[in-house]
Amino acid sequence: MRTTIRLDDQLLEATKQYAFARGKTFTAVVEDALREKLMSRSASKKRHRVKLTTVNGSGVNPGIDLDDSAALLDVMDN
């Protein structure tokens, strides 16, 4: 599956260098790191319940598409 992620410039460069030094693709390094993190999380301690505060409102502002992450980022950047 193809997806887009935003990374800090320094993290991106370090990951590219790491991949090059080991003869791997950038994608393979990211996949391996995510797998390792997710596997270690399942073995971690019990999770704590989080209570989120919500407020009443009239829903999403007109013209906002919650399924379009690029458009949401544009709206949040302005």
66 inside domain: no
Domain hosting residue 27, numbered range: 8-44
Contacts of 5 (CB under 8 A, 6+ apart): 30
Tokens encoding 45: 């301690």
Q: What's the confidence (pLDDT) of residue 48?
A: 82
Tokens encoding 17: 């260098």
Residue 29 and residue 19 in contact, taking contact as beta carbons nearer than 8 Å: yes
What pTM value is reported for the model?
Answer: 0.52
78 inside domain: no
Q: Work out how many domains the chain is built from and give that number.
A: 1
Per-residue pLDDT of the chain (78 residues; tens, 9 = 90+): 888 999 999 999 999 999 999 999 999 999 999 999 988 866 656 778 888 777 777 777 788 888 988 888 888 887
The DSSP output letter for 51 is P
